[in-house]
Amino acid sequence: MRLLADPSNLGRQERGKGICMKIASHIRVSMCGGGAVLFDIHRGKMFDLNYAAAQIWRTLESGGSEDQALTALIEKFPAVERDTLRKDARALVAELSSKGLLVE
């Protein structure tokens, strides 16, 4: 996953199992080729997600938590160490949140 080094966890809310985030209302998504393209219609920016990042997005989009997204990644990528997947998933959620794509 292509991630920025911003570890902030702003806008997160604990609910039940793990941290749940909502997709910002000004974000549109197009799933394509296993990945996804996110469109921020307020800022006129696009964001490209690879396959693994798109899996996280799909889980969050359907109301799942960050923990549920991690579980889905572990199932899809059993050869990758859990700690690596956990760090990458948390970094992605932090990046998407810092860019205003995910909100409380």
What pLDDT, in 10s, does the model give residues 45-88? 999 999 999 999 999 999 898 889 999 999 999 999 999 999 99
The pair of three-digit structure tokens given for residue 35, joined into one six-digit string: 């990945």
Q: What's the pLDDT tens digit per position in 10-21?
A: 333 333 345 678
Measured in whole angstroms, the distance separating CA 73 from the mean position of its chain's CA atoms is: 11
The residues near 81 (Cβ < 8 Å, ≥ 6 apart) are none
Q: What share of the chain is helix, strand, coil (3-state, %, to 5)?
A: 40, 25, 40
The CATH topology of domain 20-103 is Outer Surface Protein A; domain 3 (3.90.930)
What is the pTM assigned to this prediction? Answer: 0.77
